[in-house]
Amino acid sequence: MEILDKKSNRMSRANSGVSECNEFPDLQRILDFLSLRNLLSNELFFTFCEFATAPFYNIKIVSIESFYQHYLLFK
């Protein structure tokens, strides 16, 4: 297809993009699945890290506060 001007150039690129996407539906489905799986694994990983480190963080805060209170009492 010949491109006559800028407007037809844009139209042909848009049409070719749509046809390329429709030529490989299985590949598109696989890529969508992999990207969703990657997103889900990242969310699960960061959620696990947050819950795994939360008790240690709370213990540190409590121990620092209790240390400070004992320090003020025995000062």
The per-residue pLDDT string of the chain (75 residues; one tens digit each, 9 = 90 and over) reads 444 555 555 555 555 454 455 567 777 777 777 777 777 666 666 666 566 555 555 555 555 566 556 566 665
Residue 30 lies in a domain: yes
User: Token match 């992999």: residue?
Assistant: 34
**Do the domain assignments include residue 60?**
yes
Note the pLDDT of residue 34: 76
pLDDT, position 1: 44
What per-residue confidence (pLDDT) applies to 46? Answer: 66
Kindly state whether residue 43 falls inside one of the protein's structural domains: yes
**Count of structural domains, the chain:** 1
Identify the domain containing residue 12 by its residue range. Answer: 6-73
Joined tokens for residue 22: 């429709």
For residue 17, tell me if it sits in a domain: yes
Supply 63's token pair.
């121990």
The DSSP code sequence of 25-70 is HHHHHHHHHHHHHHHHHHHHHHHHHHHHHHHHHHHHHHHHHHHHHH
List all residues 6 or more positions away from 12 whose beta carbon is below 8 Å from its beta carbon.
1, 3
Residue 31 domain-assigned (yes or no): yes
Would you say residue 21 lies in a domain? Answer: yes
Residue 1 maps to a domain: no
